[in-house]
Structure 1
Amino acid sequence: MSANILIIDDDKTISTMIRRGLTYEGYDVRVAGNGKEGLHQVLDHEPDLIVLDIMMPGIDGLEVCKRLRKDSGIPILMVTGRDSIADRVEGLETGADDYLVKPFAFEELAARIKALLRRSDKLNKAERLVFSDLVLDLATRQAFRGERVIDFSTTEYNLLAFFMSHPKQVLTRDLIMERIWGFDFQGESNVLEVYVGYLRSKLEAQGEARLIHTVRGAGYALRE
């Protein structure tokens, strides 16, 4: 059965191009011309994935994402002309799963969509991820160390889920940046180090043993 994709974009030229391409790829595609219409369509028929523009009149993409993330884990791919690091971090912190900067090749959009759908399908088949004394509940997006409950921002959750999906493996900095912040995330930035610090602070708040270790010259690994 083909996946249902909802495009929320006020630019008819862009949305038509995406709809035609995705329909040719075999997806069931619907289009909403603004944020309000998009939210209504989600309520009427929840899609498997949303392609969401940020810059829209009325309810913009960031607000749409915030509202959806209150009670939905639908994968969201943001598409926008805003390409600064701050813009990308804001979009991902709002709850987007990936971020693609306009102009883009349709082939890259299609590849991102396939990757998000695969990841969503994999996570939906599991109820939780477990490593050592750390449990990550995929429904509530909360973690537990013993009886202690830990809440995360969207990016923190995505980063921890990536580590817990690849226990004991050395994950390179480039790979993590690609998976969490997007394939075309370029330039010098300490954003990964900052978020690893956030995770360690929360996971070790009561003196628990470190689980996310730095592998010098390589990246990071989830190890006891």
Structure 2
Amino acid sequence: MDDPAPPRVLVIEDAEAIRVAVESALADAGFSVRSRPDGAELEGELVRTRPDLVVLDVLLPGRDGFELLRVIRRTSAAGVVMLTARDGVEDRLRGLGEGADDYVVKPFVLAELVARVTAVLRRTGRTRPAVEVGDLVIDVEGGRARYGDADVELTSTEWKVLLYFAQHRDRVVSKTQVLTAVWGYGDSAPNLVEVNVSTLRRKLEAHGPRVLHTVRGQGYVLRGEP
């Protein structure tokens, strides 16, 4: 299956640590990502990059996220996922009412944000095809996995773990990286990863050869060859 050009995502977030983490997570998931610390040049950025989706913080220096959302809706068909530290229902309803496609409250888990971005792109018809690893097909859009002729029944956590490996196909990822992406912390409870990987591997191997490999001293890698 040939991959089309990856969806373009523009991240507007003034907190550098969050901006860098979001940009990295989206890039690792296969998106083409640009980022800015504010909306000072939003109009020009929309013309230059023609993003498929904008990840937009609400509390920004200068024009806030709601004002920038109105600019986007006047000039672009891009999807919009808003980020905010405000968890009040009124703020969320305001953002959605003014045209945002989804609303993520800080603090958030990066894997969840990637899933939300993917879901919005799916609704706008701009997602990439499923990830294929040998006979294993991971349907990112549909939220399911199929190995050969059989559907693989997974819990929600097992799916998140598999999705993270799919987003990093052919790359070794550590237990800490998986913990941070799926559970939101990486300094404790590595056995969570071990238990879920063991169960996930057993379910996959019930339908075909091993594709989720352990790399001693480093972590795990999802690939079709040993």
Tell me the residue number matched to 2:4: none
Tell me the residue number matched to 1:127: 129
Tell me the residue number matched to 1:166: 168
**How big is the shift at 1:135?**
0.3
Report the Cα distance in structure 1 between the residues aligned to 2:134 and 2:101, rounded to whole angstroms. Answer: 32
Report the Cα distance in structure 2 between the residues aligned to 1:32 and 1:174, rounded to whole angstroms. Answer: 28
Tell me the residue number matched to 1:57: none
3-state DSSP class of the match of 2:58? helix
Tell me the residue number matched to 2:141: 139
Greater relative CO (CA pairs within 8 A, separation 6+): 2
Does 2:211 align with 1:211? yes
**How big is the shift at 1:147?**
1.2
**How big is the shift at 1:39?**
7.6
Report the Cα distance in structure 1 between the residues aligned to 2:93 and 2:153, rounded to whole angstroms. Answer: 26
Output the amino acid matched with 2:192. Answer: V
Tell me the residue number matched to 1:101: none
3-state DSSP class of the match of 2:141? coil
Report the Cα distance in structure 1 between the residues aligned to 2:178 and 2:136, rounded to whole angstroms. Answer: 20
Report the Cα distance in structure 1 between the residues aligned to 2:98 and 2:178, rounded to whole angstroms. Answer: 33
- CA displacement, residues 145-188 of structure 1 (integer Å, 9 cap, x when unaligned): 11101243333222212222333322122222232233x43224
TM-score (norm 2): 0.51
Name which of 20, 30, 42 aligns with 2:59: 20
Output the amino acid matched with 1:216. Answer: R
3-state DSSP class of the match of 1:170? coil
Tell me the residue number matched to 1:154: 156
Cα 1:133–1:219 change in 2 (3 A) is same
Cα 1:151–1:205 change in 2 (3 A) is same
Name which of 40, 50, 56 aligns with 2:103: 50
Tell me the residue number matched to 1:106: none
Report the Cα distance in structure 1 between the residues aligned to 2:138 and 2:98, rounded to whole angstroms. Answer: 29
**How big is the shift at 1:126?**
0.7
Report the Cα distance in structure 1 between the residues aligned to 2:68 and 2:158, rounded to whole angstroms. Answer: 30
3-state DSSP class of the match of 1:21? coil
Asked whether the 8 Å contact 2:111–2:181 carries over to 1, the reply is: no
Q: What is the identity percentage for the equivalent residue pairs of Structure 1 and Structure 2?
A: 25
Report the Cα distance in structure 1 between the residues aligned to 2:220 and 2:55, rounded to whole angstroms. Answer: 35
**How big is the shift at 1:202?**
1.9
Tell me the residue number matched to 2:9: none
Cα 1:158–1:46 change in 2 (3 A) is farther
Report the Cα distance in structure 1 between the residues aligned to 2:199 and 2:156, rounded to whole angstroms. Answer: 12
Task: Kindly tell me the number of residue pairs found equivalent between the two proteins.
Answer: 154
- CA displacement, residues 39-89 of structure 1 (integer Å, 9 cap, x when unaligned): 8975x577344223xxxxxxxxxxxxxxxxxxxxxxxx656xxxxxxxxxx
**How big is the shift at 1:129?**
0.4
Report the Cα distance in structure 1 between the residues aligned to 2:202 and 2:147, rounded to whole angstroms. Answer: 13
3-state DSSP class of the match of 2:131? strand
TM-score (norm 1): 0.52
- CA displacement, residues 103-150 of structure 1 (integer Å, 9 cap, x when unaligned): xxxxxxxxxx7x778777898531200011100112211111111012
Structure 2, unmatched stretches of 5+, are: 1-45, 47-52, 70-81
Name which of 84, 89, 101 aligns with 1:34: 89
Structure 1, unmatched stretches of 5+, are: 6-17, 53-76, 80-91, 99-112
Report the Cα distance in structure 2 between the residues aligned to 1:116 and 1:137, rounded to whole angstroms. Answer: 12
Asked whether the 8 Å contact 1:134–1:143 carries over to 2, the reply is: yes
3-state DSSP class of the match of 2:104? strand
